[in-house]
Structure 1
């Protein structure tokens, strides 16, 4: 009979039901649903399964080829685009994070830009450094608050002890 698939689905119906329940994306659910329809014989042909899922027959054939070559992992593998490389590499990001953990950091983001250029040889703009430090590293340039020279250390320690913190 023309159009009848020749596919041995290794997973059981129960396993496919479990896989279907734990899928997070719609595409992954559709792919597992295809296997479920074919395994339970709800659809006899690939064209019928494609119509039930709402996908083109060629797309369903591609999914079946992915399943044949890579199994369920190959079918559910997500493609990721490489994207543009970061202007500040991971090793420099770690060095900057370590430097930001020190008690006296930087006076501002522009000083961080200059430090990156002088010590690590990385050219970057202010906006990039701000986004990296503030959002990604969740830190900030450490600027010590001004202290009075007349301030008594014993009074400061006494205040800290009597300060009510909850």
Structure 2
């Protein structure tokens, strides 16, 4: 025989119903659903909650312990892993941003990879450099439009003069 199942749900049924209608995340919805079932008296045992939600009873026990300790805030809190540190730190990013602002800039992302290696001693992959420059810094490479090496300079100047519009007075 299991021990008695006691839990005090502080919110009213109407509050719980309203919260349940506005929640977006699936895990939060399950946790709110569990509280609503307990408050409305539809469920009286942890095993029944586990069966309804398709969760193990140990998970339900953990959720209820969180609720007892810290209320709704702790129950709905989602802990995220901190992740890895950026390969390109803030100081290097600022220097890279300044270099991208220069009129000369960089001709290719490969040149940025080499610059990071030479100047800062960082070995960074091409894809990381591309994503950092393009999406994080919003920068673009300074690459001139291609021109033929056989192009006649005189013909270009003549063409430009024929395109000039007379000034309007």
Shift of 1:77: 1.3
Match of 1:45 in 2: 45
Match of 1:5 in 2: 5
Match of 1:121 in 2: 121
Shift of 1:129: 1.0
Match of 1:92 in 2: 92
Match of 1:23 in 2: 23
1:1-166 map, 5 Å: 3-145=3-145
**Retained in 2: the 8 A contact 1:103–1:142?**
yes
Work out the CA distance in 1 between the residues paired with 2:141 and 2:37: 57
Shift of 1:98: 4.4
Shift of 1:146: 6.9
Work out the CA distance in 2 between the residues paired with 1:90 and 1:151: 46
Work out the CA distance in 1 between the residues paired with 2:13 and 2:89: 46
Shift of 1:2: 5.1
Shift of 1:31: 0.7
Shift of 1:20: 1.5
Work out the CA distance in 2 between the residues paired with 1:18 and 1:102: 55
- Considering only aligned residues, what root-mean-square deviation do their CA atoms show, in Å? 3.3
Assess, with a 3 A threshold, how the Cα gap between structure 1 residues 93 and 58 changes in structure 2: closer, same or farther: same
Shift of 1:10: 2.0
Greater mean deviation of Cα atoms: 31-40 or 142-151:
142-151
Is there any run of 5+ residues in structure 1 with no aligned partner, and where? Answer: none
Aligned length: 158
Shift of 1:151: 5.8
TM-score (norm 1): 0.74
Shift of 1:64: 0.3
TM-score (norm 2): 0.73
What whole-Å deviation, never above 9, does each CA across 1:66-97 have from its counterpart, x for those lacking one?
Answer: 11122212111112223333322244334423
Higher-Rg member (1/2)? 2
